[in-house]
Amino acid sequence: MFPGRTPIELKDGEDVLTQICRHYVMECQCPRYMDNPRIAARKEYLNAIANEYHADGVIVQQMNFCNFWPYERAGMHRILTEEYGWPVLSVDRPYVVGSSGQMRTRIQAFVESIEIKKIQGGKR
């Protein structure tokens, strides 16, 4: 189940609101959950899910003007590339539609680079 899509299972004997809050705090993968174990766990999770879905590459993206996200993205890019060997496209984007052309170009280039690597028989 993807983060944010897991069911909230309520148990008897505890206040409902507390259980819901706990679920949101523990299940959320937003970069604002920034203790080191959670940061490391997100990268492991991403590697696991990319393997599960037989991904050819990973796109890590970040919305501009969020202070947590660029650090998450920069670290994620490095770790996925250097430790797990994934081809990674790392993009930051504004929260507007106007930059869709630029985004399309970057993703096209990324997909082409993965295809070229496959044609050349290169490892991931």
Interface contacts to other proteins, rule CB under 8 A: 31-32, 34-36, 39, 62, 64-65, 67-68, 70-75, 77-79, 90, 92
Q: Minimum CB separation from other proteins for residue 78, in Å?
A: 8
Q: Minimum CB separation from other proteins for residue 61, in Å?
A: 12
The CA distances from residue 67 to 32, 33, 35, 72, in Å, are 9, 12, 15, 9
Q: Specify the residue, 6 or 61, whose C-beta has the smaller distance to other proteins.
A: 61
Q: Minimum CB separation from other proteins for residue 64, in Å?
A: 6
Handedness of CA 102, 103, 108, 110 (dihedral sign): positive
Secondary element (H or E) of residue 63: strand 58-63
- Cα angle vertex 52, ends 88, 60, to 5°? 25
Q: Specify the residue, 91 or 111, whose C-beta has the smaller distance to other proteins.
A: 91
Q: Specify the residue, 6 or 24, whose C-beta has the smaller distance to other proteins.
A: 24
Contacts of 30 (CB under 8 A, 6+ apart): 68
Q: Minimum CB separation from other proteins for residue 67, in Å?
A: 4
Structural contact between residues 86 and 80, judged by C-beta atoms closer than 8 angstroms? yes
Q: Specify the residue, 47 or 62, whose C-beta has the smaller distance to other proteins.
A: 62
Strands 88-93 and 58-63, bridge-based pairing: parallel
